[in-house]
């Protein structure tokens, strides 16, 4: 249970961060526990996390601000172990180095700064840029389904310790509007809620359909014939047969030349 000082301080900080959120960061305390804060970091431009939606928790001690929070990031990122406590100078791993003047916004800005660096610590992982971009592209899906387990959820997790398996219940509880946006995004982008992969659309064409049955052994010829029919539509007989006519004229010219040559040789 939060002390009066902690409750007053966190209430003030919630008002402050709501009115002036830091870039790429949004955060709020849980309705049921002011010591449990939830944040979302949006991956900044020019980083492998660009466009990613990274959700995590800050669990404050009852005597905050005289001690730092436990910091976790639940969304897989390729930078941190999901739902593991992070060892940072602003986290509960180093209570003596924590400055009571630091606020929630200070803590989250520090987390974002560390995330976009390559420094290693307890709870961090090493990954390639490609792997981190992969996680960023799947982050919305992961948050709202908890890794595809949304159909077999046993109930929301507690204490901010969220792992794949809670079915997205905790995220939905804390971020209902964002969760709805994520499901709309998955529907619009045809993302499979179970796997997080895009549903195969059967290779839809970007141009007009020619009505050719898929799998036909004469598909290539059919495409060529259809294009030729469209090209020749509305054209006259002479235009369509100009090559035949040209060939005939050349043949007649050659025959006349031969006859004239024979006559000249006989004279």
Exposure letters 14-35 (e unless 16+ CB within 10 A, then b): beebeeeeeebbbbebbeeebb
Rounded to whole angstroms, the Cα distance separating 175 from 166 reads: 15
Rounded to whole angstroms, the Cα distance separating 74 from 80 reads: 9
Rounded to whole angstroms, the Cα distance separating 212 from 242 reads: 29
Calculate the CA dihedral of residues 258, 260, 261, 262 and round it to 10 degrees: 90
Rounded to whole angstroms, the Cα distance separating 185 from 252 reads: 69
Contacts of residue 76, defined as CB under 8 A and 6 or more positions apart, other chains included, come to: 82, 135, 138, 139, 142, 147
Burial of 3 (0-12, 13-18, 19+ CB in 10 A): middle
Residues annotated as catalytic are 87
Rounded to whole angstroms, the Cα distance separating 30 from 69 reads: 15
């Amino acid at each position: 249970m939060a002390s009066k000082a902690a409750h007053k301080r966190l209430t003030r900080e919630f008002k402050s961060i709501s009115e002036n959120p830091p870039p790429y960061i949004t955060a709020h305390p849980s309705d049921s526990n002011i010591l449990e804060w939830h944040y979302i970091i949006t991956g900044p431009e020019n980083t492998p996390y660009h466009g990613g939606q990274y959700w995590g928790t800050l669990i404050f001690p009852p005597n905050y601000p005289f001690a730092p929070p436990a910091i976790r990031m639940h969304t897989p990122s390729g930078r941190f172990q999901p739902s593991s406590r992070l060892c940072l100078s602003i986290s509960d791993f180093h209570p003596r180095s924590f400055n009571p003047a630091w606020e929630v916004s200070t803590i989250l800005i520090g987390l974002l700064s560390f995330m976009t660096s390559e420094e290693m610590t307890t709870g961090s992982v090493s990954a390639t840029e490609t792997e981190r971009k992969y996680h960023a592209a799947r982050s919305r899906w992961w948050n709202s389904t908890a890794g595809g387990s949304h159909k077999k959820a046993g109930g929301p997790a507690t204490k901010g310790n969220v792992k794949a398996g809670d079915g997205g219940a905790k995220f939905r509880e804390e971020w209902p509007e964002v969760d709805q946006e994520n499901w709309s995004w998955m529907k619009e982008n045809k993302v499979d809620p179970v796997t997080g992969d895009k549903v195969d659309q059967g290779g839809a064409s970007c141009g007009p359909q020619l009505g050719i049955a898929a799998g036909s052994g004469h598909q290539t010829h059919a495409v060529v014939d259809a294009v030729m029919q469209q090209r020749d539509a509305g054209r006259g007989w002479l235009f369509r047969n100009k090559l035949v006519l040209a060939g005939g004229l050349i043949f007649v010219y050659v025959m006349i030349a031969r006859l004239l040559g024979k006559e000249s040789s006989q004279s």
